[in-house]
Amino acid sequence: MKKTQGNHCMTTPYQHDAMSSCHRLHRRLPATVLAALLGVASPLLLAATPTPQASTVTIAAGPLNQALNRFAETTGLTLSYTPDLVGGRRSHGVAGAATVDQALAVLLEGTGLMARRTDSGYVIVKAPMTSSTDLDPITVSAAGIVSGVAPVDGYVATASRSATKTDTPLLETPRSVSVVTGDQIEARGARNIEDAVAYTSGVSVGNYGFDPRFDQIQVRGFATTTSGNFLDGLRQPYDSWLASPNTLPYALERIDVIKGPDSVIFGQVSPGGVVNRVSKRPSTDADNEITLTAGNKNTRQAEFDVGGAIDASGDVRYRVVGMARDAESDVEQIPDDASFIAPSVAIRLDDDTTLTLLAQYQDRETGGSPGYYQEGDDLTDFWTGDEDFDKASQHQWQLGWEFEHRFNDALSFSQHTRYQDISAVNQYTDGYDNVGSVVERTASGIYEDTSSVVTDNRLTGEFNTGALEHTLSGGVDYSYLDYDVLYAYGDAPSIDRDDPDYHQHIPAPDNLYADIDGRAERTGVYLIDQIALGRWRFSAGLRHDWAEDVTRDAVSGNDRQKDDAGSGQLGVLYAFDNGVSPYLSYATSFEPQSGTDANGNHHAPSEGRQWEAGVKYQPPGRDLLLTAAVYQIEQTNVLTTDPDNRLYSVATGEQRIRGLELELTTDLTRELSMTAAYTVNDPEITKDNDGNTGNTPVNVSEHLASLWLDYDIDHGPLRGVGLAAGARYIGSSWDDAENTHENDSYTLVDAGAHYDFSGQLEGVRVGVDAHNLADNRYIVCEGGYCYRGSGRSVLGSLSYHW
């Protein structure tokens, strides 16, 4: 007889055209920052975590004996069973069951076993042939119990589909993955994806300052703004201009950051990694809410999130999420308006089949030229745009589905598909010269319409070969993007800095720079095997991709580019009983590059490869995940100047980034949650035709550090009070590849507070959130072009939950 017992196991968009010299600062992280992080974190790690309610239990699908062990650790229960009884059986996992009995019933569903309650715990036995058992009859819907995408209660996630396409526990995944849960997004009052992921190790945001058009996200020193933009595991295609798909954080259940190259899973991506946004979807426990928000920058905002079961059995559930915002931005004349509505329906077709339908419509409008006028090396506080002409307006809608079917205990099929349509208008003026206070300007307009289809189809088999337990996934993913782009430029009247007129007549630009009808196709075939051998975990994956881009430009002519490449990954991990999991992994990526060399040949795709070694620690009985990783990423085929014809580039450059990441995420107690992160990078240009070999790549900080604390009081006279605060340190970086001008380091502080009413006002909450509390308007430059960071934002809110 085997017994197991535990407490609680936690469970461009492109690079902006860039431009000025900045002051130099030391590039080392101040000792006081490190001391503060260690001083706060050390005593907090010793705090105890109470046993959770059954509704917080999340166990990933996998071998039944492992699932039962995790369940015992999570709940603190004693489970008794004989190894031969559970050996060779698998569990579908569980998430969000209301009681322990229900959770065990779901965990054992389809195994032919049941849990019998005794005075000392539970005994796993064979289920009787009749329908009666010692447990109360329950109805459990398969929709919404997938642990990799289910809502996470608290700060600590235990599994992620993003890194493996299966519900593999993070503690058994041999690579670095950070999950920003819904509770973290809410606590930080995130208005955009940058706000949500800013406290994640290895991640820097806002590298081009204030620009509400795009989410500027850099992972491990590489931009992921476009090629690393994924939603629900599917690529969000873009057309290399300005119509980049956008997602607002209120629409999301969580955000997964997968670090390092991973083309086996995601296809053609940046070597830095991927940011996968996971949509809110119908769940068993609907948490309905409506929120009204107001604050500085003339912000007025309303949000709602409602859902529940449509039928008595709970086989059909719905959710509708929406938001509307009317606001100004850091530049008074530029709006920051946004609205969306996202309905979804989850249908349990039978015991083995689910279908989830996801839709969204979104409107956004801000400025087409949100930057400030730069006079020589001086970045002024003056905006050169026009309120009637200048705008970045984007209308976006999408419709998709997630179909899951299990043929038997060993074989399942899934298909995830999405159609997306974007219509965007970007009009802006540029100030290019001035005489005294008068600035001369030009006008530009980029008008785009895009439509795309993305699909991922895969079979997953679970089987044993001797002592090896396999989870083998194979599939095909495909994306198709069709786009029309019209880019024109023309003259614009000048503007006086001393007496600006922001309502002048600016004629529509009529000089064509580009008139494009294009399409882009991406196809990938992949095979991934995850193997368990006792406490050992092995993973191996292979993939081959094909890319084709066709452009028909009425101005410059037609072009057709084809690329294909293979990629792979290997990983090994050992999961100790005490919650320590050391691992080693290797992964590669590739990404097509546009343009041609002096001979008219298309540039070869850039390629990335990464070695990573790390350790994860999740002590049994604690909602805590501590990770440490060292890595080396090498990128080859980087564009550099052709030494024989300096008007062209060749894909012969290389760069390397070595780094160390430390990250702690924990629900220390029922009241106190925390995240802490530290990253040190050693970036280097290792091959270059411009004389920069040995220098540091542009706009990559060597040091990043953050700390966030969230305290909700649920007892005593202060019950209902919640306080949160965090600080982020972003180290200095270089303006140019020659390393002659350095951007200063800076620190940003965020804070929030709320009060939850009780009694007759149960469900009512008032709160306030502040970003960049000290209004630190840092400046970041690249190639002589400079950008000022976003200023202070203070928002008050009133919400009702039911």
pLDDT tens for each residue of 206-229: 888 888 888 899 999 999 988 899
The pLDDT of residue 10 is 27
Q: Which two tokens stand for residue 709?
A: 């604390």
Please report the pLDDT score of residue 257 as a whole number: 96
Q: In what helix (H) or strand (E) does residue 779 lie, and over which residues does it extend?
A: strand 779-782
Q: For residues 734 and 539, give the distance between their C-alpha atoms in angstroms, rounded to a whole number.
A: 38
Q: In the predicted model, what is the mean pLDDT of the chain?
A: 87
Identify the residue whose tokens are 């071998």. 63
Range with top average pLDDT, 3-7, 14-18, 206-210: 206-210
Highest mean pLDDT, choosing among 51-60, 134-143, 378-387: 378-387
Residues of the chain above pLDDT 90, percent: 69
pLDDT value at 57 more than 50: yes
pLDDT of residue 640: 93
pLDDT at 646 over 50: yes
Instruction: Specify the length of the chain in residues.
Output: 802
Task: Enumerate residues 6+ apart whose C-beta is below 8 A from 580.
Answer: 615, 616, 617
Query: Quick one: three-class SS letters along 267-324?
Result: CCCCCCEEEEEEECCCCCCCCCEEEEEEECCCEEEEEEEEEEECCCCCCEEEEEEEEE
Average of per-residue pLDDT across 648-660: 95
Higher per-residue pLDDT: 240 or 736:
736
Give the model's pLDDT for residue 123.
Answer: 79
In this prediction, residue 120 carries a pLDDT of 59
Tens-digit pLDDT profile for residues 672-706: 999 999 999 999 999 999 999 999 999 999 999 99
Res 129 pLDDT > 70: no
Predicted pLDDT of residue 36: 40
- pLDDT value of residue 619: 87
pLDDT at 96: 58
The closest of 243, 238, 194, 242 to 219, measured between CA atoms, is 194
Mean pLDDT to the nearest integer, 146-167: 78
- Selected residue with higher pLDDT from 161 and 76: 161
3-state secondary structure of 27: coil
> CB–CB of 750/726 below 8 Å?
yes
Q: What is the pLDDT of residue 149?
A: 56
Report the pLDDT averaged over residues 536-560: 94
Per-residue pLDDT band for 119 (boundaries 50, 70, 90) equals low
List pLDDT tens digits, range 474-511. Answer: 999 999 999 999 999 999 999 999 999 999 999 999 99
User: d(Cα 405, Cα 575) in Å, to the nearest integer?
Assistant: 30
- Report whether pLDDT(41) > 50: no
Q: How many CB atoms lie within 10 A of CB 129?
A: 6
Whether the pLDDT of residue 412 is over 60: the answer is yes
Q: Give strand pairing partners of 301.
A: 293, 325
pLDDT at 42: 39
H helices of 109-216, in order, are: 182-187, 193-197
Q: Is the pLDDT of residue 419 over 60?
A: yes
Q: What is the pLDDT of residue 28?
A: 38
CB 723 within 8 Å of CB 200: no
Q: What is the pLDDT of residue 572?
A: 98
Band (98; pLDDT cuts 50, 70, 90): low
Angle, helix 64-75 to helix 100-108, in steps of 10 degrees: 170
If one compares 37 and 326, the residue with the highest pLDDT of the two is 326
Neighbours of 713 (CB within 10 A): 16
Percent of the chain residues topping a pLDDT of 70: 88
Q: Please, what is the end-to-end C-alpha distance for the chain in angstroms?
A: 46
User: Is pLDDT above 80 for 552?
Assistant: yes
Mean pLDDT, rounded, for 81-88: 68
pLDDT at position 144: 37
Structure confidence at residue 32 (pLDDT)? 40
- At residue 192, the pLDDT reads 94
Residue 292 has pLDDT above 90, yes or no: yes
Report residue 201's pLDDT band, with 50, 70 and 90 as the boundaries: very high
- How far is the C-alpha of 385 from the C-alpha of 441, rounded, in Å? 9
Rounded CA gap, 79 and 123, in Å?
6
Q: How confident is the model at residue 124 (pLDDT cuts 50, 70, 90)?
A: confident
pLDDT, residue 35, reads: 41
Average pLDDT for 659-674: 95
